[in-house]
Amino acid sequence: MRYLLLTGITLMTLATTARAEPPSATDDEIRQILTERIDVHRQSVGIVVGIIEPDGQRIIAHGKLAKDDPRAVDGDTVFEIGSVTKVFTALALADMIERGNVKLDTPVSQLLPQSVVMKPADGAGPITLGHLATHMSGLPRLPDNFAPADDNNPYADYGVDELYAFLSSHRPDRAPGAENEYSNVGSGLLGHALALRSGGSYEALVTERIAAPLGMRDTAITSRPQWKGRRATGHDAGLEPVSDWDLVALQGAGALRSTANDLLIFLKAAMGKEPSPLAPAFATMLATRVPLGDGSAEQALGWVIVGRGDQQVVWHNGGTGGYRSFVGFRPSTGVGVVVLSNTATEAGVDDIGLHLLEREKPLAPAPVLRVAITMDPARYDAYVGTYRLAPGFDLTVSRDGDRLFTQATGQKPIEIFPEAEHRFFAKSVDAQLTFEAGDTARAKKLTLHQDGRDHPAPRVGD
C-alpha cells in the first residue's frame, strides 16, 4: 500500500525464452547487493532477505534497526509489510470459501450491516468478494472522504463510520468486473467484511485462520511484548525516521507487521513445500485469475502473476510511510524470496526480489545524484496551480515564500527543488516534475516522473 504521489503495483514482465537457469546467488553476492543499496547509494537503513530453495532456506541481512540504532537487522526483525497484507486477506477469503462460510460471488453487502446501502453502477450487479480480491470492484484506490488529520499516520482516523459513509454515498462509474483498478479501499473493505462474518476483528481472523495454524508467531497488527528490541524503525526516502502507520477500518489493505522468518513460513506453505491445513485455500487463490495490462500479467486472489510457463513468478509488494516489502516465488524452480526494508525509497526491494527469482532480471540502476540549483523564487509563480493526473487525483503546486511544494489528492505536501529550467525533484520520495511552459505566464501542464514512468497532467486550475 503506497501513500505517495501514485499508488499501486507496477507490473513487471519477465522474459519467456527457455534457457538454462544460472545458479542461485551466493550469500556474498546478496550481501554485496545490500551493501551497495544501503552504504553506497543510501537507499535504505536496513534490509533483510530470506530465500527458500530446494535444499533449504537462508537469511542474509545488512544494515541497522534505525538510523540512530546500530543494532543489526535480522530474520526476526519486525517490519511493517504494507500491501503484502492483501495476500493474507485474500487467503482468509479462500479459507472461508473452503469452509463454506462465503463464496466468491457473495455480494459484499450481505456481510455488512443493513444500514449500509451500496449503490451499484448504472445497470450493474453488486460488488462481490471475488471482485474485491482481484481489484475488479470498480471502487477507487482511496475513498473520496479520506482526509487524514495526521499525514504522518494517514489511516489512523479513517474508521468504520467513515468507511460506511463512503460506501453509502459512492456510486461506481463502471460495473464490477469490467476493469482492473488497484484499490486500497476495496481490499480494506474485504478484510472488514470477512472479519464481520467471522464474528471477530480482522487481526483475530488472521491470527486464528492463518498465523496460528502456520506457526507464524510474529505476524500481527498489535505490538507484542516479544517484539521489544526487534522492531525496526521506518524511514522516509531521505533516511529520516518516520511514524509507523495505524490502520483502523482498512486493516485488510495493509496493517500487518511481520518478520522475514515468518514470511518464509508463509511462502513455504503457499509453495506447497510443507504440509498445511491451508493448502486447499492457497490453491484456490491461484485458481481465480483476471488479465492485467497487455495480458502479460494476471491478478489472482491477492497475488500478482507475471511471466508465462517456466518463467512465471507469483508475487506481491508493499509499502507504507517508512517501509518496503516483497514476497514472491517461482513455481518452476521452487525458489521463494522475501525482502524487507525499513526505508520507503522507490528503489525499494522489488527489483532485489525479482532479480533473485530470475537472475537475468536486472537490479534497479544506481540513483541519479540530483543537485538543487539556485533559482529566483519569483519564477515559481509560473508553476503554481492544480494539475490533473487522473479523474479525482490532482497534483497541486503551491509556493510558500522561497519554497515550492506539490501535494497529491489526499496526501501531505512534498517540497520540490529546482535542478534545471522547468524541472524539479523531491528529496523525500523518488519523483521529479517537468513543467511545460505555455503561451502565458503559467505552465500549461506538468509531467510526473516516478516508478520509471511518465505521467502527464494538464493544468486544470490556478
- pLDDT on residue 346: 75
Q: Looking at the predicted structure, is the pLDDT value of residue 10 above 50? A: no
The mean per-residue pLDDT over the stretch 91-109 comes to 98
- pLDDT on residue 49: 98
Residue 95 bridge partners (DSSP)? none
CA–CA gap between residue 80 and residue 232 (Å, rounded): 9
**Where do the structural domains in the chain lie, given as residue ranges?**
27-357, 377-461
Q: Looking at the predicted structure, is the pLDDT value of residue 6 above 60? A: no
- pLDDT on residue 7: 36
Instruction: Write the pLDDT tens digit of every residue in 338-347.
Output: 999 999 987 8
Q: What is the 3-state secondary structure (H, E, C) of 7-46?
A: CCCCCCCCCCCCCCCCCCCCHHHHHHHHHHHHHHCCCCCE
Residue 404 bridge partners (DSSP)? 399, 416
* Dihedral of alpha carbons 58, 343, 80, 164, sign: negative
- pLDDT on residue 439: 61
- Give, to the nearest 10 degrees, the angle between helix 350-357 and helix 27-35: 160
The grid coordinates listed for 456 are: 502527464
Instruction: Write the pLDDT tens digit of every residue in 203-244.
Output: 999 999 999 999 999 999 999 999 999 999 999 988 999 999
Q: What percent of the chain has pLDDT over 70?
A: 95
Range scoring the smallest mean pLDDT among 312-316, 359-363, 401-405: 359-363
Q: Looking at the predicted structure, is the pLDDT value of residue 411 above 90? A: no
CA–CA gap between residue 343 and residue 110 (Å, rounded): 40
Instruction: Write the pLDDT tens digit of every residue in 32-62.
Output: 999 999 999 999 999 999 999 999 999 999 9
Same fold, 27-357 and 377-461: no
* CB-CB contact of 448 with 6 (8 Å): yes
CA–CA gap between residue 52 and residue 32 (Å, rounded): 19
- pLDDT on residue 13: 37
The mean per-residue pLDDT over the stretch 61-81 comes to 98
Cβ-Cβ contacts under 8 Å for 10 (sequence gap 6 or more): 350, 451, 452, 453
* CB-CB contact of 150 with 156 (8 Å): yes
**pLDDT band of 12, cuts 50, 70, 90:** very low
Q: Which amino acid is at 239?
A: L
Q: pTM of the entire structure?
A: 0.85
Fold of 27-357: Beta-lactamase (3.40.710)
CATH annotation of 377-461: 2.40.128.50
The grid coordinates listed for 274 are: 510443507
The mean per-residue pLDDT over the stretch 376-392 comes to 92
What single string gives the DSSP state of each residue in 64-116?
A: EEETTEEEEP-TT-BEE-GGGHHHHHHHHHHHHHHTTS--TT-BGGGGS-TT-
